[in-house]
Amino acid sequence: MEKFENLSGIAAPMPLVNIDTDMIIPKVFLKTIKRSGLGVNLFDEMRFDRQGNEIEDFVLNKPAYRDAQIIVAGDNFGCGSSREHAPWALADFGIKSVISTSFADIFYNNCFKNGILPIVLPQEAVDVLMKDAEKGANARMDIDLVAQTVTTSDGEVFSFELDSFKKHCLAEGLDDIGLTMEKASAIDTFEASASAARPWV
């Protein structure tokens, strides 16, 4: 997993509430256990019509937001089923942070395991960020993980809370496997000791 560094990117406004994981990546695309390749089907039923043509009005199909790295969303983002494919699809598309007033717990935790920073802010702050995102490609937001701040294109700053362990994992690019591998030396020592003590195992 890549380290999360300070992000300066285009933010796409998605004011819908209760955007669930089936909207993020429909169940028909859950046939893979790979983290790559799902970005093309992100928000598939919202991005494309039944003939596979882009729906022009959908925000990520608009020229200003095709390279968006941030989503400013309505309340309760990532609700529904617990599929980890949802953050996989977001990350594969290029989304590195989602800002909302609240997230579904499982989705929220899965984001950190896939290099995505979910930011919870009060409604009044999200309203300001939503309006800033509506300015398009010329308005870039800045997210500082260390300082735990989001800065609008006009320089307005909002601070967010973040668990220190989750922050560490994002900053160092550590998923569950990476965390385990940090203890590789201790694991090797334990296994050597266990093998010497119980050679028959």
- Bridge partners of 73, per DSSP, are 14
Tokens of 106: 């499982």
Question: What's the pLDDT at 58?
Answer: 97
The H or E element that residue 141 is part of is strand 140-144
Judge whether 160 lies within some domain: yes
Judge whether 127 lies within some domain: yes
Model confidence pLDDT, tens digit, residues 147-193: 999 999 999 999 999 999 999 999 998 866 555 555 556 665 666 56
Judge whether 58 lies within some domain: yes
Judge whether 110 lies within some domain: yes
In the sheet with 157-159, reading across from the earlier edge strand, the strands are: 117-120, 97-100, 70-73, 7-14, 140-144, 149-151, 157-159
Q: What φ, ψ does residue 7 adopt, rounded to 5°? A: -115, 130
Which of 7-11, 161-165, 196-200 has the weakest average pLDDT?
196-200
State the Cα angle at 29 between 104 and 84, rounded to 5°: 30
- Tally of structural domains, the chain: 1
Buried b (16+ CB within 10 A) or exposed e, 93-103: bebbbbbbbbb
Judge whether 1 lies within some domain: no
Strand pairing report for 157-159 and 149-151: antiparallel
Model confidence pLDDT, tens digit, residues 48-106: 999 999 999 999 999 999 999 999 999 999 999 888 999 999 999 999 999 999 999 99
Judge whether 118 lies within some domain: yes
Q: Tokens 């992000």 correspond to what residue?
A: 7
Judge whether 2 lies within some domain: no
- Classify the C-alpha dihedral 14-6-132-159 as positive or negative: positive
Could you report how far apart the first and last alpha carbons of the chain are, in Å?
34
Question: What's the rounded mean pLDDT across residues 31-46?
Answer: 89
Average pLDDT, the chain: 91
Range of the domain at 185: 7-197
Question: What's the pLDDT at 131?
Answer: 97
Q: What is the CATH number of the domain that holds 129?
A: 3.20.19.10
